[in-house]
Amino acid sequence: MNEIPVPYLRANQTGMVILVILAAIVGQPWIIAVLWLIEAAGLVFGVKGNLFIRTAKPFLQKKIAQAETEARELTRFNNTLAVLFLSISLVFFVLGWPLAGYITAGLLAGVALIAISGYCLGCFLYFQVKQFRRKFTKTKSS
């Protein structure tokens, strides 16, 4: 499957938003670490490794047949960004800067919330990176 159904992605984004908000409300950075594990598993093992998607899958079966899809490569790029932001957040927690850790995780939750609303900031960034690479490769080969 080269395309991933959007309802699966929304389930993942919703899970990220919920866990970041929960971590901030209860003041428990270990919840961010759990989220990092969930997202890292999704990055390493693909959709089948993501706990949010696995949990939501039985409830989404009827929606999947006619659902829009997103390219696997794009999903992987967005997941990499999520793991990067969560890693930075965890580094801040380890350094004893919890506010910076929550802000960084909050940025991720904000971007995920925007994606749930229909605008994919990671997709825009992906397009810009591809354009830059193409331009850089073209300039280098000239």
List pLDDT tens digits, range 31-65.
Answer: 999 999 999 999 999 888 999 999 999 999 888 88
pLDDT at position 50, please? 94
pLDDT of residue 1: 54
Cβ density class 16-28: b for 16+ within 10 Å, e for less: bbebbeebbeeee
Where the chain has pLDDT below 50, the residues are: none
Q: Please tell me the predicted confidence (pLDDT) of residue 142.
A: 58
pLDDT at 57: 92
Contact 77, 122 (CB under 8 A): yes
pLDDT of residue 128: 87
CA 88/CA 20 separation, integer angstroms: 14
Q: What pLDDT is recorded for position 132?
A: 84
